[in-house]
Structure 1
């Protein structure tokens, strides 16, 4: 079963890596970044809630006092990092946005130090330095700052990484009381509760019934969200979290490939080196944590 577990992680990383196809497809129909985030989390929340209401209603029971954990995972993490990530895709490129998202492990190290008192070893510090250097190459600050990307794109990408890191922090508290499936369901429910009114999605509701938009929305929610998360969650029952996270670094590679093949994006040699350095740092961090 362990081989199948690794296959599931590869599947999850691939499905996450093709997110840009759905994001850019919806953007072409005039949806704003907030509306695209809303489509993802609202549809996912509806499908997940309906599924578990039929399969096992016990998974939907939570204590009201624990809502604070899902405010963290759903609103401060999922809603925020999705908005930042999709904004970074628009302002930079799919490949650059994906690699900035993968600064998350570096933020996790820093947050774990501040909140949980985890020790920063020499290996962890080295990984942080390599991550910073790799990102500097990807965004163009190095070797020459003349070709650097707009500040807004850079901040959005780093915001995505920070928001993604927050999920590890808040879910750590939530998982003390609930299963991973319950945490996933309520993460999207809480994110949807905020994003639906904030996005103004109802103002463009007529667009939602166009068949291409329906196809993009269902693919976005069903494949790159629900199926991806379920694959990853099931696999975690059979392999260590650290190993799973290492395999999941396939995601930015897939995202880069999609950007080049579907959207005609180009990367110079320095950017490619930066991507390799960031992925190497992520692998190093996960091995260290394991």
Structure 2
């Protein structure tokens, strides 16, 4: 059961990596990061709503509260992530977002939700080393990454951790389809307050409408379904660690589609991540 849960999280992370690549692709075509974020979540909301209609759930105040918290986390994650991409690169933005395990670990220890272990610390250390090598974070300044890109990347990581905890606590009071329905409804309302409505409407008359829909399916609808099912079968820390295959997928997308070349150092980092994720999956099983 634990191994299957981690496998679902990994598959969701691959889809998220593809979503990051699609977001970068759409930004290269001139679309605003906030509009891209909105369509990712809005299409996801429609997908999750369909799931909810087939499996309705009962509502209660704790469920609504924690689902809204999860929705705030989703909104921050999507918006900050795409802004970070626009201010730097897909690989670097994905790396900064995956400081989330550090936030999750600290929050878990502070509230005594789980105990630390040498294995968890080693896994985090090796994966973080891998993402540093993969994205060459140490040369961010020379690559023209802005302060805004750094701050929003870290904000995406903190928001991701907020979603993990919001969903975990909401799941004690209801079913995942109900939690995600409220979370993505909250996301849609929040992002509607900040996007350029004229540009958002113009998407319907654009040939890029297909890519926006695909982004929502990959980056929210299907991926979040897989992720939350997997998350219920493993711990928040383990799930957030194995989900780091997302920057690997995003980097490969950048290489194959956007012609972003990978150095030997980056390939070495990718190898460290994949090996560590595999070991972690076997250990957790």
Give ranges in structure 1 of 5+ residues lacking alignment: none
Superposed, 1:56-205 pairs within 5 Å as 56=55, 58-59=56-57, 61-64=58-61, 66-75=63-72, 77-116=73-112, 118-131=114-127, 133-138=129-134, 140=136, 142=138, 147=142, 149-200=145-196, 202-205=197-200
The answer to whether the Cα contact below 8 Å between 1:260 and 1:266 also exists between their aligned partners in 2 is yes
Distance 1:47 1:145 in 2: 37
Is 1:259 matched up with 2:254?
yes
The answer to whether the Cα contact below 8 Å between 2:21 and 2:90 also exists between their aligned partners in 1 is no
1:178 offset after TM fit, Å?
A: 0.9
1:109 offset after TM fit, Å?
A: 1.0
262-271 or 240-249, which deviates more: 240-249
The answer to whether the Cα contact below 8 Å between 2:71 and 2:182 also exists between their aligned partners in 1 is yes
Instruction: Mark the CA change 1:157 to 1:282 in structure 2 (over 3 Å): closer, same or farther.
Output: farther
Q: Secondary structure, in 3 states, of the residue corresponding to 2:119? A: helix
Q: Give a deviation string over 1:9-65, Cα, whole Å, max 9, x none.
A: 665343222113431343245332122111121232234325533x24x32x42245
1:147 offset after TM fit, Å?
A: 3.5
62-71 or 167-176, which deviates more: 62-71
Instruction: Mark the CA change 1:210 to 1:248 in structure 2 (over 3 Å): closer, same or farther.
Output: same
1:253 offset after TM fit, Å?
A: 2.3
Superposed, 1:244-283 pairs within 5 Å as 248-277=243-272
Aligned CA RMSD, in angstroms, stands at 3.5
Q: Secondary structure, in 3 states, of the residue corresponding to 1:181? A: helix
Q: Normalising by structure 1, report the TM-score.
A: 0.79
Q: Normalising by structure 2, report the TM-score.
A: 0.80
